Chains A and B, each alone.
Chain A
Amino acid sequence: MTSEQNLLEIRDLRVSFRVDRHTTFDAVKGITFDIPTHRTVALVGESGSGKSVSAMSILGLLPENAAIPAESRILYGGTDLLRAPRERMLDIRGKDISVIFQEPMTSLNPVFPVGEQIGEVLRLHMGMSPKAAAARAVELLSEVGIPEPQLRVRSFPHELSGGQQQRVMIAMAIACEPKLLIADEPTTALDVTIQKQILDLMARLQERHHMSVLFITHDLGVVGEIADHVVVMQNGVIREQGPVRDIFERPQHAYTKALLECRPRLDRRPMRLPVIEDFMGEGGGRANFAERPRGVTRDDAVVLEVKGLGKTFFLKEGLFGKRAVPAVKDVSFRLARGKTLGLVGESGSGKTTVGLTLMRLHDATSGEVLFEGRNLLSLSDREMMAYRRRIQIIFQNPYASLNPRFTVGNILTEPMKIHGIGRDAKERVEMAFHLLSRVGLPEASFYKYPHEFSGGQRQRIAIARCLTMKPDVLICDESVSALDVSVQAQVLNLLQDLQDEYRLSYIFISHDLAVVKYISDEIMVMNQGEIVEIANADEIYLNPRQEYTRSLLASIPRGWDASRAA
């Protein structure tokens, strides 16, 4: 590849952050790669790999405490962006190089109509009159596929859905016909169906505007669909880079192989998911990768039965008015002992509400939850205490679900004290130690605070907390969604081991259809508070009976598809 073809060349980029007076943290340790013109380069890596830092240094948007040594270069059309004067950077940012962030809601200013925000970019960089800018904003909105753009220019960000907000962000980014579009995890916060639409839109716009795209993501499935060239990063170093076909068909580096294998696949269901150590370690214990049989039969003992569960929220409207918003409508299902029920649906489908209502963290509006023949919803708070520990929940965000002021020891012994498990403090501490080693954490963790752990470790602590109460039913509310692919595999393996050992029943709530397919025996698809379809996992993926299920399944990123190579 000669340098004329390259839009941007990154040479030996190093970024370090000053943590305090004595310590610095090297986020990026000398990376070199090119972004060719009219091509999509995907920067893939897990959290902490330095992918976002690399992208932000292109734009000079690093925080104050970042330092870049003199030998690093980012060459753009003969200019070194790291040393360009401020005025030149202001000119380049937004005009030649623009960026889309992960969270559209926080990237848009909530107090201005979207049309005005698009117009601002045009006025600043293209010198358009306010009137011309407003007209162009409407064109851009229709180009990114927002219905009724004439009306929508006057909408405020909160009046748009997440997908539409991301479309507005894209409209702003392409407003000045940039040569390079940096997309920092643009679809991570979106539902699969919306993700597919946005990816299609970006591919179409790249074609039409002859842009280059730097696509930052942790999801190799997405990469396989859109990228031409892939750069795999880990711990601030490039592990492997090459054309997308090579990466997917002949991965060289063990880390790339691991990333490709860790993610649950739709066509296979091994006994255990492979984890990074299987590839990176010497020899590796690639144990039991035989297929695991799944599914429930009529003979399985039912541990929990839900009949006609409903939950309605009331929103205030006007001074005295109330509006009923049904979040869950007439949901009925049975959960078999030792089996997993997967609960899938897009955001707003009511799947989390079902979980919280079962736990009585929300009061149900109607219905029954039968556990050992008793209706949990009609019990008094005192009677409920005995059942509380039998049904437990693991939340999505491991950073938020542990009290930052408690040590891990406090976190684990508290539920035991509440429910009188263990004879005295000493026995409880011993049990906590045992559980820590059971979930794969060192005993020294007992004395540490949650912030000293990574996301995956925190989720293990949350799992250990539930296990202290020896529950029968565990509700996993998006419990692995916030984790990196490799960590996700470890936690899924842990959950599976625990199910095999203690015969736990799981209600596994997720928007990630591949994960749900891997872990579930039975799957329940929800949409707008209602059950669309409920069937054994394999069956639902093979012959979906409902149109909605089909469209959901069609949106799953398929990863690399050899036919695309042509």
Chain B
Amino acid sequence: MSSVTANCAPPAMQESPGLWVLAWRRLRNDRVGMVSLAVVAAYLLMMIASYAGILAGDWNKEKGVSYANPSFLAGAENLEAKEVTQRDFAPKAKPVDLSDIDPLAPRYKEWEERAAKIAVTEVKRAESLPFGGDKWGRDVLAKAVKGSEVSIFVGLTAALFATLIGTILGAMAGYWGGKVNDFLEWFYNIFTSIPYILLILAFAAVFKRGLDTIIVILALTGWTGIYRLVRAEYIKHCGREYVKAAQAIGASHFSRMFVHILPNASHVILVQLSQHVVSFIKAEVILSFLGLGVPVDMVSWGTMLAEAQNELVIGKWWQLFAAGASMAILVTGFSMLTDSLRDALDPKLK
């Protein structure tokens, strides 16, 4: 964005701090900013590690009993697991002998012999898992780690694309005004008059199911708020004298739009970006809940929350907690980081 300003920094860079160095210094003095930066960085690392298979590669394994207790609640009663165990290993009644009328009866013996050759090792399922298990006994913690991969990726990329669309359209409408503005305003009005969920459903119906589809849907539907704010910011700045001064020295339209005005509107864009990351992570939850989200063979915080709904009724709160807490920490960290970033990037700050 403002890389142009960094580019034309003088060669004598080492003796004087440039824009980014100064911003970094200001950020380093901001305790809240540094903590939230650490939180966000940790999440990103976790996401990369999980993508590379280092972390939570076995999230799909059924390691514990159904609804295994978290290890700090290992002693608690687990009715569901007990029920399943009883059903499996203690048949309630003796089976009726049907060999007289069963046409396959003569071959049972042969099959049993064959089956005996295959070694079946009964996996001892854990009674408790670090943060509990889900219905199939999968580790909730591993699920939450793996789920971050999808959720953060979807949230970040979709927010980036939405911000890009919103910023470019907003800049055009605000800067050029007149017919361009009229057209974009008309488009915006039509677009926002359609209920949001309906719009998402319509897009989802057209595209095939998958991760890229969710990103496209969210980006294509989410730019409107950013557009409106960026447009207002551009209208405000276009009348400023520094933009007139840029015109007077012969700066091109493109340069005025994106080199001169954009850095001055960046605080709005940054804050919007962070808010949209948050709301898109939530939107992915909604989509997954409606069955339009990530495919069933993947896990995201959204699918976890959708599952947690039923579990909560029978008192299994850990899946909800794991997904909710990971989301809350990231979202809080992210918005605080953008807040500090905005302060750090603002040279006018008093």
Contacts and interface: CB of A to CB of B under 8 A. Distances in A.
A385 B250 contact: yes
Contact of A395 (B8, B19, B241, B263): B241
Interface string A394-430: 0111001111111101100111011100000110010
A463 B342 CA distance: 31
B273 to A, nearest CB: 18
B264 A404 contact: yes
Interface stretch (B9-17, B46-54, B153-161, B194-202): B9-17
A356 B239 CA distance: 13
Contacts of B260: 403, 406
Contacts, number: 93
Contacts of A413: 8, 10
Contacts of A417: 8
A462 B245 contact: yes
Nearest to A405: B263
A400 B241 contact: yes
A361 B10 contact: no
Contact of A402 (B8, B17, B245, B350): B245
Contacts of B72: none
B249 interface: yes
Given A404-B347, A451-B348, A409 B9 contact: yes
Contact of A409 (B10, B241, B248): B10
B245 A426 contact: no
Contacts of A19: 350
A254 B8 CA distance: 45
Contact of B251 (A393, A405, A418, A469): A418
Interface in B241-255: 241-242, 244-251, 255
A447 B347 CA distance: 12
Given A410-B8, A429-B10, A451-B347, A395 B249 contact: no
A333 interface: no
A395 B245 contact: yes
Contacts of B249: 388-389, 392, 414-415, 418-419, 465, 469
B251 A414 contact: yes
B60 interface: no
B264 A425 contact: no
B16 A446 contact: yes
A414 B256 CA distance: 12
A359 interface: yes
Contacts of B8: 409-410, 413-414, 417, 425
A449 interface: yes
Given A400-B242, A404-B348, A392 B10 contact: no
B182 to A, nearest CB: 13
A234 B250 CA distance: 41
A409 B16 CA distance: 11
Nearest to B261: A403
Nearest to A403: B242
Interface in A320-370: 356, 359, 361
B332 interface: no
A447 B246 contact: no
Given A451-B347, A469-B249, A406 B5 contact: yes
A447 B8 CA distance: 12
A233 B350 CA distance: 26
Interface in A506-531: none
Given A425-B11, A429-B11, A447-B17, A400 B250 contact: no
Contacts of B17: 447
Contacts of A397: 241
Contacts of B248: 359, 361, 388, 392-393
Contacts of B181: none
Interface string A219-249: 0000000000000000000000000000000
Interface string B1-40: 0100100111110001111000000000000000000000
Contacts of A426: 11
A132 to B, nearest CB: 44
A446 B10 contact: yes
**Among the interface residues B11, B16, B19, B248, which one has the most CB atoms of the partner chain A within 10 A?**
B248
Nearest to B350: A19
Interface in B47-81: none
Given A356-B244, A417-B8, A418-B255, 14 more contacts: A389-B249, A392-B249, A401-B241, A404-B242, A405-B264, A407-B5, A407-B9, A409-B8, A409-B9, A414-B246, A426-B11, A444-B16, A446-B16, A447-B17
3 nearest A-B residue pairs (beta carbon): A405-B263, A415-B249, A447-B16
Interface of B: 2, 5, 8-12, 16-19, 240-242, 244-251, 255, 260, 263-264, 347-348, 350
19 contacts: A356-B244, A393-B245, A395-B245, A400-B241, A401-B242, A403-B242, A403-B263, A404-B348, A405-B347, A406-B5, A407-B9, A407-B19, A418-B249, A418-B251, A426-B11, A444-B16, A446-B16, A449-B347, A449-B348
